[in-house]
A and B are shown apart, each in its own frame.
Chain A
Amino acid sequence: MKFFLIAYDRRQGKLLDMKEFPEGQRARALRERFAREVVERDRPDVEVVLLGAESQADLEKTHARYFKTLEQIAAST
Chain B
Amino acid sequence: MSISQIRALGDRLRGKDDPRPNDLELLQRLRADYDQSLQLAEAVLREKLELRATSRLKTVQTIVEKLKREKTRLSEMQDIAGLRLVDDMTLSEQDELASRIAGAFDDAEIDDRRARPSYGYRAKHVIVRIEGCPVEIQVRTRLQDLWAQAMESLGDAWGRQIRYGLPPDEDQMPLIEDEQSPVTRADVVDMMAGFSVEIARLEANGGASEELATLRTQLEGLARAFRTLNLK
B205 at interface, CB cutoff 8 A: no
Interface residue total, chain B, C-beta cutoff 8 A: 43
Across-interface contacts of B35 in A (CB, < 8 A): 26, 30
Across-interface contacts of A10 in B (CB, < 8 A): 156-157
Q: A12-B232, A30-B35, A70-B226 are in contact. Are A65 and B56 (CB under 8 A)?
A: no
Chain A positions 49 through 77: 1 when the CB is less than 8 Å from some CB of chain B, otherwise 0:
11111100011011111000111111111
B42 at interface, CB cutoff 8 A: yes
Q: Is the beta-carbon distance between A73 and B86 smaller than 8 angstroms?
A: no
Chain B positions 206 through 232: 1 when the CB is less than 8 Å from some CB of chain A, otherwise 0:
000000100110011011101100011
Q: Binding site of B, secondary structure by majority: helix, strand, loop or mixed?
A: helix
Bound Cα distance A75, B227 (Å):
11
Q: Is the beta-carbon distance between B226 and A49 smaller than 8 angstroms?
A: no
Chain B positions 20 through 36: 1 when the CB is less than 8 Å from some CB of chain A, otherwise 0:
00001000100110010
Q: Which residues of B in the span 145-194 have a Cβ within 8 Å of any Cβ on A? A: 145-146, 149-150, 152-154, 156-157
Bound Cα distance A38, B61 (Å):
12
Q: Which residues of B in the span 48-80 have a Cβ within 8 Å of any Cβ on A? A: 52-57, 59-61
Interface residue total, chain A, C-beta cutoff 8 A: 36
Bound Cα distance A48, B62 (Å):
11
Q: Binding site of A, secondary structure by majority: helix, strand, loop or mixed?
A: mixed
Bound Cα distance A77, B31 (Å):
35
Q: Is the beta-carbon distance between B142 and A73 smaller than 8 angstroms?
A: no
CB distance from B61 to the nearest CB of A (A): 7
- Select B156's contact among A34, A63, A65, beta carbons within 8 Å: A65
Q: Which 3 residue pairs of A and B lie closest in terms of their CB atoms, listed nearest first?
A: A13-B232, A74-B223, A10-B156
Enumerate chain B interface residues (CB-CB to A < 8 A).
Answer: 24, 28, 31-32, 35, 38-39, 42, 52-57, 59-61, 84-86, 142-143, 145-146, 149-150, 152-154, 156-157, 212, 215-216, 219-220, 222-224, 226-227, 231-232
| Sampled A-B contacts (30; CB under 8 Å) | A10-B156, A11-B156, A12-B232, A34-B31, A37-B24, A37-B59, A38-B24, A48-B59, A49-B56, A50-B57, A51-B54, A51-B55, A53-B54, A54-B52, A61-B86, A62-B85, A62-B86, A69-B226, A69-B231, A70-B150, A70-B153, A70-B154, A70-B231, A71-B224, A73-B146, A73-B150, A73-B153, A77-B212, A77-B215, A77-B219
Enumerate chain A interface residues (CB-CB to B < 8 A).
Answer: 1, 10-14, 26, 30, 34, 37-38, 44, 47-54, 58-59, 61-65, 69-77
